[in-house]
Structure 1
Amino acid sequence: MPTSITVNGTAHEVDLPSEVPLLWVLRDALNLTGTKYGCGVAACGACTVQIDGEAVRSCQVPLGDVWGDVTTIEGLGTPESLAAIQQAWVDHQVAQCGYCQSGQIMQAAALLAETPQPSDDDIDAAMSGNLCRCGTYPRIRAAIKAAAGMES
């Protein structure tokens, strides 16, 4: 039986087993490939999306357990009108290889929605589950502060 899911404001019917991870629904069924596969065990954060504004690891959320509207990196902003956090990422040249960046940005956006003026400790706590092999953590922190209007 098809499952209804709303992603980036658009309703979809997907005919997949309820145990298929949301990550693969997004990438394979809906062709939203901005969300990346990293580890498959929720340890790296590359697959982070938001469900009703809450940052979640899409590799660990079965389709049948999706409880609300899903937002992926494709739904955060557009190339013509980037979200503030995306623009800050560009301005601070955060990305090197770029693989982890969609998950980092989705986690950062969730942090800013919950804590509009985050402290360094808030940023560290919220971002600690998102790994960057290139080590751009200082630029990530600076971009988050810039998006919050707290230029560092």
Structure 2
Amino acid sequence: MAGITLVNLSEIARLEGDSARAIESYERSLTYLDQVGDTFFIAVVLLNLGQSVQNLGDMARAERLYRKSLALGTATGSHQVLATAVEKLASVFAAKGELIRAAELLGAAAALRRARNLSRQPVDQEDHERLEQALRTKLAAATLATAWQRGEQLAFADLLPSV
């Protein structure tokens, strides 16, 4: 129960734009979630922790957290975690200047969301829209569309080793 309470407090801090406080609470919640072995919630917290550290500019740590969440999402079979982790990794690739790869990943995540009828969490929507806008600004429309379609056509299982 304490782990989930801390997750909720972390979300409040994240929504208020206090990434440092969110990080502290997310990290504390992981201790409790590890103790009870709640792999699904650990995967979710790693996504949110990753976003918080990314907001502070630590792309390397964010990428590690997203990859770990992706692995746990695969292990638990959570398509919601998988789609979100791939979208978050796309934002890291975009920040590193790998725009084509970012577009491919967004295409793959979009295909998974469509196939499984998965919505995006409202708290992640603004970040996602910002990423899509950045790609539209930096890539020619045809280049973006081609990369996106290539991602959509990838089998998700084939995508995972390359992420």
The alignment's TM-score, normalised by the length of structure 1, stands at 0.31
Task: Give the number of the structure with larger relative contact order, counting CA–CA contacts within 8 Å between residues 6 or more apart.
Answer: 1
Structure richer in helix, relative to its length: 2
